[in-house]
Amino acid sequence: MGLALPCIVPHTWTIGRQSLSLDRPLLVGILNVTPDSFSDGGRYYDLPAAADHAQVLVDTGADVVDIGGESTRPGRPQPVTGADELARVLPVVEALRHRLPDIPLSVDTVKAEVAERCLAAGASIINDVSGGRLDPDLLSVVAGAGAGLVLMHSRGTVADMATYDHAEYHDLLNEIIAELGEGIERAVLAGVTEDRIVVDPGLGFAKRVGQSWWLLDQLEALTCLGRPIMVGPSRKRFLGAATGRPVAQLDVATATACALAYDRGAKIFRVHDPGSAHDALAVAHAAREPRSVAE
């Protein structure tokens, strides 16, 4: 019955010692420091290239930079150890904390040890693609640091969550809502306060093409969880299926998907190309809030 009642979605997201306003779309720029990510693996693998690209992300509209050191690409050769992931991510966090002191840094990890070291180095958000399932200690680390937390819906392990191995649902929407709700409950029990939690439906993760489109269309239902919604449609295969374009040519489709998601209640958008998404979201926001546009 509680899920059937309308919820008031917060207008701020508390991360560390600051609150980010969600009165306008919030853009999270993707910085993959991996050799094997599906879209840009290897391009920003060394520290100077990573730092320069982070600057580009911010200059083109990113409000937050999300740093990832472990790919979820299907077919990756070996799991990434905590030590290897830290060697990739921690120097970037340390460098960006000095180069971009006013930009919040997020770390995309499922490992408590990586989260702990990166939060101590200056990150203020942990983006957990397992929704807190794979390493329960991560939630306690986030709670202790007072960091922001993104709980993404997925199933399976890092190695297979981006495949169709776990894409069988009896009731897609309600199962995703229930599983995200369980993630919120785990986080709160670990000490994370609700004002620090954001949910992500996990477009493309344990979801077939048609399921991702259905979820995008029905996104507003997730507001029943009472938490801000982040979406990450960037360069995903369901966009390629619709447009017939390869991964490298999906930024316009990504921007369009972001605008559709904003119209359905999403507040935060994780993208590879902030520039195109910024413009699409600015138009979507102006259409909804015309008084926000200066004459």
Helices 209-217 & 251-263, crossing angle to 10 degrees? 40
Of 45-54, 61-70, 190-199, 215-224, the least confident: 45-54
For residue 191, tell me if it sits in a domain: yes
Range of the domain at 64: 24-286
Residue corresponding to tokens 């229930």: 178
Tens digits of per-residue pLDDT, 99-150?
Answer: 999 999 999 999 999 999 999 999 999 999 999 999 989 999 999 999 999 9
Of 12-26, 75-89, 218-232, the least confident: 75-89
Q: Which of 133, 236, 264, 267 is catalytic?
A: 236
For residue 280, tell me if it sits in a domain: yes
Q: Does 288 qualify as catalytic in the annotation?
A: no
pLDDT beyond 90 at 173: yes
pLDDT beyond 80 at 290: no
What is the arithmetic mean of pLDDT over 249-267? 97
> pLDDT value at position 242?
97
For residue 42, tell me if it sits in a domain: yes
pLDDT band at 7 (very low <50, low <70, confident <90, very high): low
Contact between 62 and 77 (Cβ < 8 Å): no
> pLDDT value at position 71?
86
Amino acid at 195: D
Task: Give dist(CA 126, CA 109) in Å, integer.
Answer: 7
pLDDT band at 202 (very low <50, low <70, confident <90, very high): very high
Contact between 72 and 205 (Cβ < 8 Å): yes
CA 61 to chain centre: 16
3-state SS of the chain? CHHHCCCCCCCEEEECCEEEECCCCEEEEEEECCCCCCCCCCCCCCHHHHHHHHHHHHHCCCCEEEEECCCCCCCCCCCCCHHHHHHHHHHHHHHHHHHCCCCCEEEECCCHHHHHHHHHCCCCEEEECCCCCCCCHHHHHHHHHCCEEEEECCCCCCCCCCCCCCCCCCCHHHHHHHHHHHHHHHHHHCCCCHHHEEEECCCCCCCCHHHHHHHHHCHHHHHHHCCCEEECCCCCHHHHHHHCCCHHHCHHHHHHHHHHHHHCCCCEEEECCHHHHHHHHHHHHHHHCHHHCCC
Task: Give dist(CA 282, CA 276) in Å, integer.
Answer: 10
Helices 137-145 & 112-120, crossing angle to 10 degrees? 10
For residue 169, tell me if it sits in a domain: yes
Query: CA-based diameter of the chain, in Å?
Result: 55
pLDDT band at 41 (very low <50, low <70, confident <90, very high): very low
Task: Give dist(CA 125, CA 118) in Å, integer.
Answer: 9
For residue 8, tell me if it sits in a domain: no
For residue 158, tell me if it sits in a domain: yes
Task: Give dist(CA 133, CA 109) in Å, integer.
Answer: 12
CATH of the domain at 136: 3.20.20.20
> pLDDT value at position 289?
80
Q: Which residues contact 48 (CB under 8 A, 6 or more apart)?
A: none
**Residue 92: CB atoms within 10 Å:** 27
For residue 220, tell me if it sits in a domain: yes
Length of the chain: 295
Task: Give dist(CA 100, CA 13) in Å, integer.
Answer: 20
What is the arithmetic mean of pLDDT over 36-52? 68
Average pLDDT, the chain: 92
For residue 15, tell me if it sits in a domain: no
Q: Does 270 qualify as catalytic in the annotation?
A: yes
pLDDT beyond 70 at 91: yes
Contact between 81 and 113 (Cβ < 8 Å): no
Q: How many domains does the chain have?
A: 1
> pLDDT value at position 293?
65
pLDDT band at 72 (very low <50, low <70, confident <90, very high): confident
